[in-house]
Amino acid sequence: MENSRPNDTPLVTSIIHAASSELSPISNGGNGRQIMKLVINGDSHTQAHLGQVITHYLASLQPHRQRFLVANCIALHASTWFIYVSGYPTNEEFNYEALAPLLHLHLNNAGDPFHGSSFTLNSTSFEVSVLDWFANLWDIEKNEYWGYVTTGGTEGNLHGLLLGREQFPDGILYASQDSHYSVFKIARMYRMQCIKVASLISGEIDCHDLKALLLANKHKPAIINLNIGTTMKGAVDDIDLVIKILDKAGFSRDRFYIHCDGALFGIMLPFLKSGGPKITFKKPIGSITISGHKFLGCPIPCGVVIARLNYINALSRDIGYIASRDATITGSRSGHAPIFLWYNLQKKGIMGIKNEVENCIRNARYLKDQLGDAGIGAMLNEFSNTVVFEKPLDDEFVSRWSLACNGNIAHVVVMQHVTIQMLDSFVAELVHNRSIWFQEDGIRKSLCIADEVGAVNCSCALHKANMDIQPNNYALQQIKQNV
């Protein structure tokens, strides 16, 4: 089994010997992964020796990469031999070798990308070009938007929700229970009153519940966190319905703020062949954010936030020290990240992005169907590449395929690097393991996941009959919310 040492033990030993002071034997991190223990001592080491440690580190990542199924947020780009099927939606398929010379520079975009910075080694021209691209994607004029390249989706949420709070200091934050954990953390950080809204089985915000909550809190403005692809189920909240509900509940446009969290799917949605809800600043939204290391596949965590300029003016302060305007969450900001994003967008082109999105969606549907054919309950939202299914009973299997789990369910986010062959071997291994898990003691049975994915998508003893009637059921998302 891959869980034991990789086949490079001799190298490990030699490294440990050569550098016994800072590299103690590889230990098991408790989740089936090996962790290198590196201790920094006072000695100076040669370049060759340090290079050896890095080489060893790269080799230690390889076995994991071959089964990285989740990848939406852990990018490993050291070379092209990494292939993963995993629960974390990162794109493992990119080559940034042309940018290697930039690693010799400290590039810092501290401050407002549109106001420049006193730090001359910056890449704000790349940053603004990336921001313009996203502004155009989401239909907002250059002179009406502001934005910046962040450290990731979380910072984008920190920024967007701050704009909402500055606009409405006594506003209530509404977020569905399927929202990313960062949203609830941010509510605590900003000491905002936050109301958790129920979700539908698909993972979408339950507009019926939202309406009731809005009506019960009419006296306070509403700040709404809208999910463009939830983390666990990949659900896209119905933006038009949410806007309609706000109107019906008596919230005029000057009494609500909508922030869109599109970490993974926000960049995929506009390129879907099959349409899907349209996210645009032509609708009354305040801000949108995406992560750059998820779908786009940047090798370092980063993201983009775009907001209406008029909200920014209320927030920002001029700062003499950096000769810029202070409207960002962090001070110093990566000058490399905008170049990675720019390079990535330029290299893929619109057609490239479209093809990648279609590929992910097609392969996700393939996985969902393969699981269904094998009698394993699974759910896939219509506009999503996240396949949800029963949590495998063995932690070792979960860790081996880097699956992300929550309660009784696990998910695979089918990213660009995930091939049909990987999916086939994943399903074959899951089917094989289930037959062992379920036979071994005769006690363990397929988990009931009807509460999480609906009875039609559940293959437990009780619900299996439903599945047999509708083996490839995408019907859930077609049920219109009746509010």
Pick from 69, 71, 73, 312: which binds ligand PLP (CB under 6 A)? Answer: 73
State which residue, 153 or 164, has the beta carbon closest to ligand PLP.
153
Applying CB under 6 A, what is the total number of residues that bind ligand PLP?
A: 16
| Binding status of residue 336 toward ligand PLP by CB under 6 A | no
Instruction: Look at the block and give the residue holding tokens 């938007």.
Output: 145
C-alpha dihedral over 80, 86, 89, 95, to 10 degrees?
A: 0
Closest separation between CB of residue 457 and ligand PLP, Å?
21
| Binding status of residue 225 toward ligand PLP by CB under 6 A | no
Helices (H) and strands (E) in the chain, counts: 13, 17
Pick from 263, 337, 422, 453: which binds ligand PLP (CB under 6 A)? Answer: 263
Half-sphere exposure of 160 (CA within 13 A, CB side): 34
C-alpha dihedral over 450, 453, 454, 455, to 10 degrees?
A: -50
Query: Interface with ligand PLP by CB under 6 A: which range of 259-267, 389-397, 405-413, 449-457?
Result: 259-267
State which residue, 298 or 312, has the beta carbon closest to ligand PLP.
298
Closest separation between CB of residue 182 and ligand PLP, Å?
5
> Residue 308 pairs with which residues in a beta bridge?
145
Pick from 52, 91, 108, 154: which binds ligand PLP (CB under 6 A)? Answer: 154
The tokens describing 447, both together, are 């988990």
Pick from 86, 182, 334, 363: which binds ligand PLP (CB under 6 A)? Answer: 182
Query: Interface with ligand PLP by CB under 6 A: which range of 45-53, 227-235, 343-351, 443-451?
Result: 227-235
State which residue, 117 or 179, has the beta carbon closest to ligand PLP.
179
305 in Cβ contact with 289 (< 8 Å):
yes
Closest separation between CB of residue 91 and ligand PLP, Å?
13
Angle, helices 420-440/336-373, rounded to nearest 10 degrees: 50
Pick from 303, 372, 377, 392: which binds ligand PLP (CB under 6 A)? Answer: 303
Pick from 264, 364, 371, 413: which binds ligand PLP (CB under 6 A)? Answer: 264
Which residue from 464, 24, 453 is spatially nearest to 202, judged by alpha carbons? 453
- Whole-number Å distance between alpha carbons of 228 and 401: 26
The tokens describing 289, both together, are 């954010």
Query: Vertex 304, ends 233 and 114: CA angle to 5°?
Result: 165
| Binding status of residue 152 toward ligand PLP by CB under 6 A | yes
| Binding status of residue 261 toward ligand PLP by CB under 6 A | yes
Pick from 65, 67, 180, 417: which binds ligand PLP (CB under 6 A)? Answer: 180
Type of residue at 58? L
| Binding status of residue 459 toward ligand PLP by CB under 6 A | no
Query: Interface with ligand PLP by CB under 6 A: which range of 98-106, 119-127, 150-158, 418-426?
Result: 150-158
**Residue 384 annotated in active site:** yes
Type of residue at 230? T
Which residue from 168, 164, 166, 204 is spatially nearest to 287, judged by alpha carbons? 164
| Binding status of residue 122 toward ligand PLP by CB under 6 A | no
**Candidates 384, 399, 402, 446; catalytic one:** 384
Q: What is the DSSP string of 303-314?
A: EEEEEEHHHHHH
Q: What are phi and psi of 464, to 5 degrees?
A: -55, -40
| Binding status of residue 153 toward ligand PLP by CB under 6 A | yes
Closest separation between CB of residue 294 and ligand PLP, Å?
6
Half-sphere exposure of 320 (CA within 13 A, CB side): 0
State which residue, 36 or 263, has the beta carbon closest to ligand PLP.
263
Pick from 34, 91, 123, 231: which binds ligand PLP (CB under 6 A)? Answer: 231
Which residue from 334, 430, 341 is spatially nearest to 387, judged by alpha carbons? 430
State which residue, 306 or 430, has the beta carbon closest to ligand PLP.
306
- Whole-number Å distance between alpha carbons of 38 and 258: 45
Question: Edge-to-edge strands of the sheet including 222-227?
Answer: 145-150, 303-308, 287-291, 256-261, 222-227, 172-176, 193-197
| Binding status of residue 71 toward ligand PLP by CB under 6 A | no
State which residue, 51 or 407, has the beta carbon closest to ligand PLP.
407
23 in Cβ contact with 53 (< 8 Å):
yes
State which residue, 63 or 262, has the beta carbon closest to ligand PLP.
262
The contact set with ligand PLP (CB under 6 A) reads 73, 152-154, 180, 182, 227, 229-231, 261, 263-264, 291, 301, 303
Catalytically active residues, by annotation: 384
